[in-house]
Amino acid sequence: MSYIYNLALNGSYLGEHVEIIDCHAHMGPHGEFHIPRNTSEWMIKIMDRIGVSKAAVSHCISLESDFKVGNAIVYEAIKKFPNRFIGYAVLNPHYPEEIEGELERCFKHYGMKAIKFHQSLHQIKYSSDFERYKPVLEYAESNNLTMLCHGFPSPKKLEEIARGYINVNFIIAHCGSWNMREELEALFAAKHIPNVYVDSSGSVEWYGAFEKVVAKVGSDKILFGSDFPWCNLAFMIGRILFARIADEDKRKILGLNAKKLYKI
């Protein structure tokens, strides 16, 4: 078995051997179900215990209700724990008059590194409503930013958008998910379009699925994501640590690819 596999199997502290960056985490309470240990303080404790150096986060409030309030809370967490949290700016396209000012605030003042779309919670249809995201996409294109996108309902439509904004790196979330058609569309986009990636967050996988994803798109196009603290961070990272892939691939997925996309 591989070196990283044995580290995990023996209970070694991972942070001393491999850099781990979680590209898809959240923060704060959810409006529909309880999330234990959802504060920045608790998240840091759990990250330290496992050996995760950084987590890219969006706040649940930003996704469910007031995106400006949620972004401000993430900024406070970044200030409290420098170099541990990477901030996602969440923008709700239903409030176009707020977009420009919030982008400036997030990237000029808050020091955020990327943008988070959740078209499902923001009730945006790729087929008919995605033009609402155009001001955000144009800002990202001008500033070479990364965007994390909830990959549904249509990764195929996101593929079309990615080809139109070549300076934006798009991460399609939840690779290895519960919908095979959308899964294949996301993998096709990641394999054939240079600026499209996938992450491993919050996925319901069958045995051997992750190895198949790596074989199909290559480890250069996959990032480790957990949906922590919605999901158990140890469980989510274990799927990478114990996967039957090379250590070089694991290192790319666990942290090296994220360092490139977030420019850290």
Phi-psi region of 36 (alpha: psi -120 to 50; beta: other; left: phi over 0): beta
Q: What tens digit of pLDDT does each residue of 133-147 get?
A: 899 999 999 999 999
- pLDDT exceeds cutoff 90 at 246: yes
CA angle 102, 140, 26 (to 5 degrees): 65
Q: In what order do the strands lie in the sheet with 114-117?
A: 21-27, 54-59, 85-90, 114-117, 146-149, 169-172, 196-199, 222-223
What are the structural domains of the chain? Answer: 3-9+20-262 (3.20.20.140)
Least confident of 29-33, 43-47, 83-87: 29-33
| pTM to 2 decimal places | 0.93
Per-residue buried b or exposed e for 2-34, using 16+ beta carbons within 10 Å of the residue's own CB: bebbebbeeeeebeeebbbbbbbbbbbeeeeee
C-alpha to C-alpha distance for 81 and 96, rounded to whole angstroms: 31
Report yes or no: 43 and 55 within 8 Å, Cβ to Cβ.
yes
Q: Which is nearest to 102 in space by CA: 149, 68, 52?
A: 68
The pLDDT value given to residue 14: 93
Max mean pLDDT among 132-136, 226-230, 250-254 falls in 250-254
- pLDDT exceeds cutoff 80 at 177: no
Q: For residues 91-98, give the mean pLDDT.
A: 92
CA angle 152, 157, 160 (to 5 degrees): 140
- pLDDT exceeds cutoff 90 at 210: no
C-alpha to C-alpha distance for 110 and 79, rounded to whole angstroms: 9
pLDDT band at 196; cut points 50, 70, 90: very high
The pLDDT value given to residue 185: 76
pLDDT band at 126; cut points 50, 70, 90: low
Least confident of 30-44, 72-86, 142-156, 170-184: 170-184
The phi, psi pair for 89, rounded to 5°, reads -85, 120
